[in-house]
Chains A and B, each alone.
Chain A
Amino acid sequence: MPKDPIDVKSWNTLNRLLDQALELPSAELGAWLANLPAEFAPLKPRLQSLLANAAEVETGDFLQTLPKFELAPGDLESNARVEKSGDEIGPYRLVRELGSGGMGVVWLAERTDGLIIRPVALKLPHGAWRRAGLAERMSREREILATLTHPNIAHLYDAGITPQGQPYLAIEYVEGTCIDAYSRDRELDVKARLRLFAQVADAVAYAHGKLVVHRDLKPANILVNPDGQVRLLDFGIAKLLDDGQAKETKFTEASGRALTPDYASPEQIVGEPLTTASDVYSLGVILYELLSGQRPYKLQRDSRGALEDAILQADPAPPSQVADRKLRAALHGDLDTVVLKALKKKPADRYPTVHALLDDIERHLLSRPVLAQPDSRWYRARKFLRRNVLAVSAYSAVLLAVTIGAGVAMWQAREALAQQRRAEEVKAFITRIFSEASPYTGPGTTSLTAVDLLKQAEARLGTSFIAQPEVRVELSTLIGESLMALGDADAAEPVLKRTTDEAVRTLGAHHEMTMRVTLLQAQMHRMRGRAKEARALLDDILPVLRADPATAPLDLSAALSHRTLIAFEEGAYVEAERFAEEGARVASSRLGRNHEQTVASSILLALAYRYTRKFEQSRDAAQDAYQAALAQFGATPPHPRVVEAKSTYGRALADNGEFAAGIALMDSAVADSRVLTGPESSQSGIFLQNMVAYQIDFGQLARAERDSAEALRVISALAQHESLTYAATLSARAQTHLARRDLATALEEFNQVIPILERVLGPEREFTLWARVCRALTLARLGKLAEARAEVDAVAPLAAKSPELEALAARVTQVRGSIARLRGELAESLRLQQPLIDKRSALAKVQRERMRASVDIGLVLLEQGNSTQAATMFELALAEFHRLEAEITPAHADALIGLGRTRLAQGRRADALPLLAQADAFWRHFDADNSDAALAAAHLRSAQRDHGTMRAKP
């Protein structure tokens, strides 16, 4: 037997060699092995190991007979018993046989003691189910099943085992027709069928409330009496019998002994534990069939295997597509959506409860829109995009360039990770509670998902055995919160809604628990992109929470955080700042400096200050957040909260001109994010993208080139091109190319990105305008001066609109001055740019414009023959480049060449040459093919020639 996988060729060789060896007497085997030709060497160890057993196998009785084995006790019982009319089974006398099926025989029977006259359907499971333990199981389950009293559920009266070992189940005898035959025979219309189905669903929902899962829902188990009343048979019985049955072996499964799983859910097919979600699925199949007259899956071949494959993989066609032509219009739309939602492969994608399914059916019957969404993925994607766009429809262009998407993305990541961690705790908690509380969870069902358990728990709470309203509200709040933590917002929403209503009703609007669940509901709305609803709820509870901040400081601070985020999304930054300040104050004074919520509040406060351009305060808040996060969580391994705080602090430092420290922190946050969320995650992409603008400002153009390319690669795989995230990334890339003087590429990218920005952000937003000014400069440098001027003139009036746009206005002025110079309008260029030199501003962006203007003015003065002043301007510029930038950039090289030319003009060639050589060396290293490189080389050569000429003179 191959110990390791062996390929076919080797196997065949091995087989042939074994044949040879077995022809030999065992004494000669050693010699045969030793003389084995070299080509068989790889097989030799294997042969040796096999033949080592040869003597033993030859002489012993190895595998000569099948060993003894015992039969399971159930197999020892007689299964030849044949009941006949008049026989007594426990307290019942058999009247007539009603039918027989896979699990046994069903008799119409009556009680022998005459205590109760009504006839019963007596089920007699046959031998296959008679296993040890059935008796205990039956007595345990009987009590649970007997509590099911619902007009649409056939009652289980009794279950037991006779002294002879015959199990029996006495069930309410129902006269009626199977639901499918009933609907067909009476030619019921769609609405009548839905009403019948609603009875079924109502009964199943009721049973789920008692934690009883049917597990074998099918039309044959759903009878309709002549009055149109539905009765469900065999509730919980499949479970009762199944548990006793030894697990089907792979062998028997493959041979298809079990019944055809027409109504089985995917999880049933793969043998996972069954939950209420499986019943939702089976109800979906039944509804599909009731409405369309067809089963959900069209099979290529009629076999169990094909059906199982279909159940696990195939997407059923909408019922309207397979139904009779005359039914199509009635089914198309809502009913298609409802049925397909019940038939989702993943339990979590289905209706969370049968109640939810029933609600939609009833809504449809009342001609109201159903809650199921035809395509939730698209729905969510749309919501996400909308949220992103809103979140970044910021006022300030400068800030936008660096914060696009990141604030929100970071918060989403933070929330997701917090949820994940909370989910673990909740999962453990709930699993513990329900494995003790539920009769259906023992070993073997521990793999029920937490969501399943929560849904069960929700259903159980719905049918209420808890008298104290506070406990009820608290439990169902916990369930709602847990569902949300587990990411099942669909399931959480109705729970939170109901709980809020109940809390208001039973505890009052101002109760602590009411506040808590309302806050959760607001959070849920916000997560689903419903800022308005969330804001309304938060504005309701904030006054109450503020009135007594000591009672629920965490809730108050969290409510303020959510309120801050909503204000961000609405672009109301002043309001956001107010909420963020209050939230941070509450958190740090009542929860402590290092509390997780305090960290989160401080991060939000830093973001708020950045939006309102209070950069120093932003830095202080971010520093608080980073220090607190480090104190709370440590530096390694990277904790999500630390990473967020780090990135925020890094950006705040860079905003304050501390580029080196800021970029180092941002860089480290990117590395952490790659570890935490993967290098291809949007968070990693956005963090990278965020750095690019600072790198450009800091003169790290090689890194900007590399990181902007990587950011664009990651983001374009994740974001639609018609999105702000993509546009911001492409814009950063274009700015990089402009700074690197790759003008043709920059122009192409600006032309691509500006229309996107105008559409997704708006034509008059600072970020859009900033890109347009940069395009104007690109055009000017390419010599397209008329176009350049038209572009910058279009932007100028918009940039002058608000004092908030100080940096943009400075940029416009500088670019206009450059264009004027290039057009030969020297006086105009000076007039425009002179004020920039005199301008005092704390903004790093404005300082950079002053630096650029210095170079430009120097060039104008040089052209005007004013060497002395020109030299002053270039020296000023160079000092600024040294102060502000880490590396030499093309702009810096311009200043070097400018000063070099000035020195030449002043006759100071010795001073000029090193400057020009430095610029030339830079360009040769930076981008030797660039036309500016050629220009730099030309200036150097010219200077050297002059120098040489001079020296040649005697």
Chain B
Amino acid sequence: MPESDSLTDLIHRAQAGDEAALRVVFDATYEELRGLARSRLRKGNRDNLLDTTSLVHEAYLRFADSGRLRIGDREHFLRYASHVMRSVIVDFVRERIAERRGGDAVHITLNSEIMEAPSAGETEILKVHEALEELGQHDERLVQMVEMRYFAGMTEPEIATALGVNERTVRRDWQKARLLLAEALK
């Protein structure tokens, strides 16, 4: 994969089913988002609430500034970046859980199991992620919807633009997705 390939081209190729391109896009976006998230959380963000929306937008701007992304491809990028954001967050959560378990060589006792149990928030994130994996077999658009809304924190108008549907559809899909997820989270 030549270095000079712009992210825009890669995204188009990825959409056309080019796996190698998809990998490169994913890697680049993943590193960018992960780096941004880390630096945000590090900067005295005491409550550890991640403003993923601004991260995704910031990533977009940084790619666009460096000329790797064409301005017109904002929607494509946001859609894709939401998907990547999901994996960034899921990985964060999994690493955190693994870390608390002590990485290696710790005898697990009843006490430590309780201490190491994932928090409610972490559990929610992982369950949503798993539910989406399954939902993806039936309805890719609903999955994208949840990624943008839940993981990337995008607004309904933003999502409507990115997906090329009207806001009413977004609202209804979001509600439908939440019904399905509520069932899965029970």
Contacts and interface: CB of A to CB of B under 8 A. Distances in A.
Contacts of B96: 69-72
Given A244-B103, A251-B91, A22 B184 contact: no
Residue picked from A57, A65, A66, A67, most chain B C-beta under 10 Å: A66
Given A67-B120, A75-B38, A444-B104, A62 B138 contact: no
A131 interface: yes
B5 interface: no
Contact of B104 (A50, A303, A443): A443
A604 B103 CA distance: 56
A257 B30 contact: yes
B29 to A, nearest CB: 10
A62 B48 contact: no
A72 B26 CA distance: 22
Interface stretch (B56-64, B72-80, B159-167, B171-179): B171-179
B41 A133 contact: no
A257 B124 CA distance: 25
Given A15-B139, A57-B175, A68-B48, 15 more contacts: A2-B138, A22-B176, A51-B179, A53-B179, A53-B182, A54-B179, A66-B151, A69-B96, A71-B92, A75-B92, A243-B104, A246-B103, A249-B91, A255-B23, A302-B20
B27 A255 contact: yes
A11 B139 CA distance: 9
Interface string A291-329: 000000000001111000000000000000000000000
Nearest to B103: A133
A63 B103 contact: no
A252 B38 contact: no
A19 interface: yes
Contact of A246 (B42, B98, B181): B98
Interface string A1-32: 11100101001000100110011000000000
Interface in B87-110: 87, 89-96, 98-99, 102-107
Given A68-B48, A132-B103, A247-B98, A63 B119 contact: no
Given A49-B183, A66-B151, A67-B124, A76 B41 contact: yes
A255 B35 CA distance: 17
A2 B103 CA distance: 34
A19 B176 contact: yes
Given A50-B183, A66-B125, A72 B99 contact: yes
**Which one of A65, A244, A305, A444 has the highest number of Cβ atoms from chain B below 10 Å of its Cβ?**
A65
A589 interface: no
Contacts of A51: 179
A68 B183 contact: no
B19 interface: yes
Contacts of A636: none
Nearest to B86: A251
Contacts of A243: 103-104
Interface residues of B, number: 61
Given A19-B176, A65-B153, A66-B125, A71 B41 contact: yes
A50 B153 contact: no
A53 B89 CA distance: 26
Contacts of A53: 178-179, 182-183
A89 B151 CA distance: 39
A132 B96 CA distance: 11
Nearest to B118: A69
Interface in B1-59: 19-20, 22-23, 26-27, 30, 35, 38-39, 41-42, 47-50, 52
A731 B30 CA distance: 71
Nearest to B184: A1
Contacts of B134: 1-2
A305 to B, nearest CB: 7
Given A22-B172, A72-B95, A133-B104, A78 B179 contact: no
Contacts of B178: 53, 57, 62-63
A302 B19 CA distance: 10
A72 B138 CA distance: 34
A246 B89 contact: no
A838 interface: no
A954 interface: no
Contacts of A244: 103
Contacts of A137: 103-104
B181 A63 contact: yes
A17 to B, nearest CB: 11
Given A1-B131, A443-B105, A246 B176 contact: no
A67 B126 CA distance: 11
B45 to A, nearest CB: 10
Interface string A47-90: 00111011011100011011111111111101110000000000
B14 to A, nearest CB: 11
A271 interface: no
A820 to B, nearest CB: 82
Give 9 closest A-B pairs by Cβ, nearest first: A67-B121, A1-B184, A246-B95, A1-B180, A442-B105, A53-B182, A255-B26, A72-B99, A251-B87
A330 B172 CA distance: 71
Contact of A73 (B91, B99, B105, B180): B99
A72 B104 contact: no
25 contacts: A1-B134, A22-B172, A22-B176, A49-B183, A51-B179, A53-B183, A56-B182, A57-B179, A57-B182, A58-B175, A62-B182, A63-B149, A63-B178, A66-B52, A68-B121, A69-B50, A72-B99, A75-B95, A251-B87, A252-B87, A255-B22, A255-B87, A257-B30, A303-B23, A304-B23
B81 interface: no
Contacts of A251: 87, 90-91
A256 interface: yes
A63 B179 contact: no
Interface string A661-698: 00000000000000000000000000000000000000
A837 to B, nearest CB: 84
Contacts of B176: 15, 18-19, 22
Interface in A232-262: 243-244, 246-247, 249, 251-252, 255-257
A186 B128 CA distance: 58
* Residue in B119, B139, B150, B179 with the greatest tally of chain A CB atoms within 10 Å: B179
Contact of A63 (B47, B48, B98, B128): B128
B25 to A, nearest CB: 9
A1 B183 contact: yes
Nearest to B89: A66
A132 B99 contact: yes
B122 interface: yes
A625 to B, nearest CB: 48
Contacts of B102: 132-133
B35 to A, nearest CB: 8
A257 B31 CA distance: 10
Contacts of B128: 63
A261 to B, nearest CB: 14
A79 B37 CA distance: 13
B176 to A, nearest CB: 5
Contact of B48 (A19, A69, A255, A442): A69
B103 to A, nearest CB: 5
A76 B40 CA distance: 10
Contacts of B49: 66, 68
B94 to A, nearest CB: 5
Nearest to B132: A1
A311 B148 CA distance: 37
A100 to B, nearest CB: 15
Contact of A255 (B30, B151, B180): B30
Interface string B120-157: 11101100100100110011000000100111010000
B38 A79 contact: yes
Nearest to B93: A69
Contacts of A303: 19-20, 23
